[in-house]
Amino acid sequence: MRPETKKNSDAEPQKKLAEPPQVIKAVYATSWSAGTPSRINYLTDLIKTTELNAIVIDIKDYSGNVTYNTEVEEVKKYGAREIRIPRINSLIKKLHEDNIYVIGRVTVFQDPILAAARPDLAIKNKTTGKIWTDRKGLGWIDPGSKEYWDYIVKIAKDAEARGIDEINFDYIRFPSDGDLSEMVYQFYDEKKERKEDVIAEFFRYLRFNLKDEKISADLFGLATIQKDDLGIGQVIESAYASFDYVSPMVYPSHYAAGFLGYKNPTNFPYEVVKYSMEKAEEKFLATGLTTSKLRPWLQDFDLGANYGPTEVKAQFKALADAGVENGWMLWDPSNVYTKEALILN
């Protein structure tokens, strides 16, 4: 193997941003975008020329792969590493030099790579005895596996040691689609435990082990409204207790027909987001905590309706009118954003 050339070597681990923004306004980037110079340059330029000040980058995505050259031994042992961001320390350095806050996104219990490598930790199919998979054919880890909890904490610590300012946890839940009746858990005891208690314990575990770090949690949008755990263990009050920021995915396209009486809620971004945020704030106030932690994901993609400047700005106005002051994160799976909606007025 040829030794790594100086040109391709990475920078030293970075320090976190010295003066992080108080109100986060972020866009999402896949690891492929983050590792491609032309794409990261587009996103950096977008941030520098608009009111944006932060970026969310996949460091462990839906595939189960950690997307940079991590030092976590278990990741290497289980073949859960695909280096799409070749020089992550250098990338963080570049972003910090532009005063950009860096959030690393970690997909948790949906993890087909580790499920295949460690079937003893995975949800099983009771008919076949093999790994259970969702409707996309992806395997999941049993949320009750504390060994897997340690694995996630190690990945988060490695990323933050490189200067990533915050870790954002997604898929922190039980599966929601596929043939759920075929699932067999190896750690979670359906007869003795509630899903919401398992997930709440995992939340507390993250907080305890990452006590000095900024961490955030992604939840289904309906967690802002529903009084139950949605059948997946997500209760927004539990997240409030353990995270610095709580990020419900209040994409109007993801609300069912009939929500608030609308045949197609996607056409009513202001109304959907404002109502969801008001309900989420009510839930927050009921916890007795004093500083709101809401910082939602908003929609900048076409699904059910075309989304442009009007629709994106309507969501921003909904947050302002609902009194949500921590900012937002904007999602487009293609990582191409509506600049007209992001330019400072």
Residue 324 pLDDT level (bands cut at 50, 70, 90): very high
Cβ contacts of 326 within 8 Å, gap of 6 or more: 23, 24, 245, 292, 293, 294, 295
Structure tokens at 2: 């040829």
Is the model's pLDDT at 25 over the cut of 70?
Answer: yes
Residue 6 pLDDT level (bands cut at 50, 70, 90): low
Q: Domain range holding 259?
A: 6-341
**Is residue 198 domain-resident?**
yes
Domain count for the chain, please give it.
Answer: 1
Displacement of CA 171 from its chain's centroid (Å): 7
187-196 pLDDT tens trace: 999 999 999 9
**Is residue 220 domain-resident?**
yes
Contact 173, 239 (CB under 8 A): no
Structure confidence at residue 92 (pLDDT): 98
**Is residue 175 domain-resident?**
yes
- Can you give 151-169 as a three-state secondary structure string? HHHHHHHHHHHCCCCEEEE
Residue 113 pLDDT level (bands cut at 50, 70, 90): very high
Mean pLDDT, residues 143-169: 98
Contact 11, 69 (CB under 8 A): no
**Is residue 294 domain-resident?**
yes
**Is residue 50 domain-resident?**
yes
The CATH number given to whatever domain includes residue 168 is: 3.20.20.80
45-61 pLDDT tens trace: 999 999 999 999 999 99
**Is residue 1 domain-resident?**
no
pTM of the predicted model as reported, rounded to 2 decimal places: 0.95
Rounded Cα distance, 239 and 217, in Å? 7
